[in-house]
C-alpha cells in the first residue's frame, strides 16, 4: 500500500502542467496557478483524497505522457519530495523502494482517503447537478478549497461528526499573511466555511443545521448566535453567515483538520470551504459609484414612461412626487439608489443601505419591501443632479415631459396672543359694535342681555349679535340657572340692578 502511494507521487511529480491540470480538473479542483502550486495540490489529492478512480487517472495520464511498457520501472522525479509539502506521518513511506506497477488490472486500494464524511472515494463522474451557494456581495471568492459536499450521517445517532483534512498552498498562505486587517485580529483574506441545504434546483443561501459546532484543529470556532425576537410567539432567528476559520488555522503548509458537529434530524446539508477576500461597505459603495450609475437621460426617459397616458385608465397622471429624504434614516439623500427591479421612482441612500446590510444582510428595499440585491442596485443620475441643484426643498414633483419642480412646504401660521374679534351680523362701517358705557348700557341706547350674548338697536334697527366663544358649556349653564333665580326674585321683590359683563359688549375673541 505504501509502495503504491509512493509510485503515484512519483508519477505526479513527473507530470507537466497540462497533465496536472487534467488531473485536477478530473476531481473538480482549481486548475489555476504556477506549476509548483499545481504539483502541491495534486500531491495532496494523492495523500489525502486517493481512490481507485484517482489512481487509474494518474496511471492513464502517465502512460499517455511517456507511452512506456508496464514492466519498465517508474522514472525518478526531477526533484525529491519536499517534506513540507505533505506534512503527514505517512511521508515515512517515502523510504520504501519504488517498484514497477504490477499490471493494468491492479486493484488500487483506498489509501488514507478521507473526505468530509470519512468516505474513502471520490464522487462518481456523473452529470448529476451540484449544490451551488449564492454569491455574497461582501465576499470575493479567491479559491475553492472544498466543493459543496453533503453531510452524510455515519450512524443512527442524532449528533454526527464529519471531519475534513486539507492544507493551504504557499500562495494562499502569503495571501492571508499579506492582507490588511479589517479590525484587530481579523484579516481581509479568510478561509470560511459555508453550510447550506443540499438542494440543486437553485443557488442556496447559507443555512446552519441544528446543534452545529465547528472545531478547527484543537479549538472550537464561534458560530453566530440567535437574534432576539420582540414579537410574541416568534422564534428567534440565527443569522447564517460564512464562518471565519482563519484565526484558528495553521498558516503554513501544514495540514488543518476541521470537524463539523451537526444534528441529524432528517434534512440534508452540504458544506464547502473557500478562500475569500472580505469587503467593506465603503468598498462596495465605491464599486457601485464606478459601475452602477444610471445616466440622467435614461432616468428621465423612465419618468416619462411612468407618466405616459394610459388609454385604458380613466385617471390621467400629471405628475409624481418624490421625496428627497431617505426612508431609512430620515435624512436628506446623498447617494440616491434603488434596485432596477423596483417599480417606484423613490430612492434610498446607498451609504446607509450598504452599512445596514454589512451588519445584518437582508437586501430588502425599504420602499417597497421587495428584494434589492447588490448586483441590481443603480444610482439615479437624474436625482443626483436634482439634489445638487435643489438644496432648499425636501420634495420634488416629476412632470409628464420629464421635467421637475421643487415642492416647498408652507410656513405654519402662528396664532397671535390676542385673538381676532369675531362679529356676527352687521353694525357700523368698521364692523365693530359701539363700546359700552360704564353702567353697562350701550352708548347708542342698547340694552344688556345675558352674559353670553348682547343685543342692541341703532337708529331703530336691531344691532348685531356677538357671541363669546371662550365660554364653555358649564359656565353658560350655571349663568342660566342664576338668571332664572333672578327672574323669580324680580317677580317677588321687583327688578334688581344689572350685573356688569366681564367682557366688552360687542367684542369677542375668536381664539
pLDDT tens profile 263-290:
998 899 999 999 999 999 999 999 999 9
- Residue 440 φ/ψ region, left for φ over 0, alpha for ψ in the -120 to 50 degree band, beta for the rest: left
Residue 30: predicted pLDDT: 80
Q: Where in the chain is the domain with CATH 1.10.720.30?
A: 1-67
In this structure, how many other beta carbons lie within 10 angstroms of the beta carbon of residue 127? 4
Backbone angles phi, psi at 10, to 5 degrees: -65, -40
Compute the distance between CA of residue 258 and CA of residue 215 in angstroms, rounded to an integer: 6
- For residues 267 and 189, the answer to whether their CB atoms sit within 8 Å is no
- For residues 253 and 47, the answer to whether their CB atoms sit within 8 Å is no
DSSP for residue 36 = H
Q: Which residue has the cell 494562499?
A: 172
Residues in the chain: 511
Residue 74: predicted pLDDT: 46
Average pLDDT along the chain = 74
Residue 107: predicted pLDDT: 35
Buried b (16+ CB within 10 A) or exposed e, 143-154: bebbbbbbbbee
Q: Where in the chain is the domain with CATH 3.30.40.10?
A: 283-309+317-407
Compute the distance between CA of residue 352 and CA of residue 349 in angstroms, rounded to an integer: 6
Dihedral sign for Cα atoms in the order 7, 11, 14, 17:
negative
Residue 449: predicted pLDDT: 43
Residue 35: predicted pLDDT: 79
- Residue 118 φ/ψ region, left for φ over 0, alpha for ψ in the -120 to 50 degree band, beta for the rest: left
Q: Where in the chain is the domain with CATH 2.60.120.780?
A: 139-227+237-279
The burial class, CB within 10 Å (0-12 / 13-18 / 19+), for 404 is buried
Give every CB contact of residue 412 below 8 A, 6+ residues apart in sequence: none
Helix (H) or strand (E) holding 159: strand 159-167
Closest by CA to 39, choosing from 65, 63, 10, is 10
- For residues 420 and 347, the answer to whether their CB atoms sit within 8 Å is no
Q: What is the C-alpha R_g of the chain?
A: 43
Low-confidence ranges of the chain (pLDDT < 50): 68-126, 411-417, 419, 421, 423, 425-461, 505, 511
Fold of 1-67: 1.10.720
Q: Which residue has the cell 486517493?
A: 50
Please report, for residues 24, 367, 394, 408, the alpha-carbon distance to residue 331 in angstroms, rounded to integers and kept in the order given: 53, 15, 10, 16
- For residues 322 and 345, the answer to whether their CB atoms sit within 8 Å is yes
The burial class, CB within 10 Å (0-12 / 13-18 / 19+), for 461 is exposed
Question: Would you tell me which CATH number, out of the four given (3.40.309.10, 3.40.50.720, 2.60.120.780, 2.60.40.10), belongs to the domain 139-227+237-279?
Answer: 2.60.120.780
First to last CA, the chain: 103
Residue 488: predicted pLDDT: 56
For domain 283-309+317-407, the CATH superfamily is Zinc/RING finger domain, C3HC4 (zinc finger) (3.30.40.10)
Give every CB contact of residue 430 below 8 A, 6+ residues apart in sequence: none
Could you give the angle at the alpha carbon of 364 between the alpha carbons of 362 and 368, nearest 5°? Answer: 160
Residue 214: predicted pLDDT: 94
Cell of 404: 421637475
Closest by CA to 240, choosing from 267, 274, 204, is 204
Compute the distance between CA of residue 145 and CA of residue 135 in angstroms, rounded to an integer: 16
Alpha-helical runs (H) found in 148-280? 170-178
Compute, in degrees rounded to 10, the torsion defined by CA atoms 362, 360, 273, 223: -130
Percent of the chain with pLDDT strictly greater than 70: 64
Q: What share of the chain is helix, strand, coil (3-state, %, to 5)?
A: 25, 20, 50
DSSP for residue 280 = -
Q: What is the pTM of this model?
A: 0.57
Amino acid at each position: 500500500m505504501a509502495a503504491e502511494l509512493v509510485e503515484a507521487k512519483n508519477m505526479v511529480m513527473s507530470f507537466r502542467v497540462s497533465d496536472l491540470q487534467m488531473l485536477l480538473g478530473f476531481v473538480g479542483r482549481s486548475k489555476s496557478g504556477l506549476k509548483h502550486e499545481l504539483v502541491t495540490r495534486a500531491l495532496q489529492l494523492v495523500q489525502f483524497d486517493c481512490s481507485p478512480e484517482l489512481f487509474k487517472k494518474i496511471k492513464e495520464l502517465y502512460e499517455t505522457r511517456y507511452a512506456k511498457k508496464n514492466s519498465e520501472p517508474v522514472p525518478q522525479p526531477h526533484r525529491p519530495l519536499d517534506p513540507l509539502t505533505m506534512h503527514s506521518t505517512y511521508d515515512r513511506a517515502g523510504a520504501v523502494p519504488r517498484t514497477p506497477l504490477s499490471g493494468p488490472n491492479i486493484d488500487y486500494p483506498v489509501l488514507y482517503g478521507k473526505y468530509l464524511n470519512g468516505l474513502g472515494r471520490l464522487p462518481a463522474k456523473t452529470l448529476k447537478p451540484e449544490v451551488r451557494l449564492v454569491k455574497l456581495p461582501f465576499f470575493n471568492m479567491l479559491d475553492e478549497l472544498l466543493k459543496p459536499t453533503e453531510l452524510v450521517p455515519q450512524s443512527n445517532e442524532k449528533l454526527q461528526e464529519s471531519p475534513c483534512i486539507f492544507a493551504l498552498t504557499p500562495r494562499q498562505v502569503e495571501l492571508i499573511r499579506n492582507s490588511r486587517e479589517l479590525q484587530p485580529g481579523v484579516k481581509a483574506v479568510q478561509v470560511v466555511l459555508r453550510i447550506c441545504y443540499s438542494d440543486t434546483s437553485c443557488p442556496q443561501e447559507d443555512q446552519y443545521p441544528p446543534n452545529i459546532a465547528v472545531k478547527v484543529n484543537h479549538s472550537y470556532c464561534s458560530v453566530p448566535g440567535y437574534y432576539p425576537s420582540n414579537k410574541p410567539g416568534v422564534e428567534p432567528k440565527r443569522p447564517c453567515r460564512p464562518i471565519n476559520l482563519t484565526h484558528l488555522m495553521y498558516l503554513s503548509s501544514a495540514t488543518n483538520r476541521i470537524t463539523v458537529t451537526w444534528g441529524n434530524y432528517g434534512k440534508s446539508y452540504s458544506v464547502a470551504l473557500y478562500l475569500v477576500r472580505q469587503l467593506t461597505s465603503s468598498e462596495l459603495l465605491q464599486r457601485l459609484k464606478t459601475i452602477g450609475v444610471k445616466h440622467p437621460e435614461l432616468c428621465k426617459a423612465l419618468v416619462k414612461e411612468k407618466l405616459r397616458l394610459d388609454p385604458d385608465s380613466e385617471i390621467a397622471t400629471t405628475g409624481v412626487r418624490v421625496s428627497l429624504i431617505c426612508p431609512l434614516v430620515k435624512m436628506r439623500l446623498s447617494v440616491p439608489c434603488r434596485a432596477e427591479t423596483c417599480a417606484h421612482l423613490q430612492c434610498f441612500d446607498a451609504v446607509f443601505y450598504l452599512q445596514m446590510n454589512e451588519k445584518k444582510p437582508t437586501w430588502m428595499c425599504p420602499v417597497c419591501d421587495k428584494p434589492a440585491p447588490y448586483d441590481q442596485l443603480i444610482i439615479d443620475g437624474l436625482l443626483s443632479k436634482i439634489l445638487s441643484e435643489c438644496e432648499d426643498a425636501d420634495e420634488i414633483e416629476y412632470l409628464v415631459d420629464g421635467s421637475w419642480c421643487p415642492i416647498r412646504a408652507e410656513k405654519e401660521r402662528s396664532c397671535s396672543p390676542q385673538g381676532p374679534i369675531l362679529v356676527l351680523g352687521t353694525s357700523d362701517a368698521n364692523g365693530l359694535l359701539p363700546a359700552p358705557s360704564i353702567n353697562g348700557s350701550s352708548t347708542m341706547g342698547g340694552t344688556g342681555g345675558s352674559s353670553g350674548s348682547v343685543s342692541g338697536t341703532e337708529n331703530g334697527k336691531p344691532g348685531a349679535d356677538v357671541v363669546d366663544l371662550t365660554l364653555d358649556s358649564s359656565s353658560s349653564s350655571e349663568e342660566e340657572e342664576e338668571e332664572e333665580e333672578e327672574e323669580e326674585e324680580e317677580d317677588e321683590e321687583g327688578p334688581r340692578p344689572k350685573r356688569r359683563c366681564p367682557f366688552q359688549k360687542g367684542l369677542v375673541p375668536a381664539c
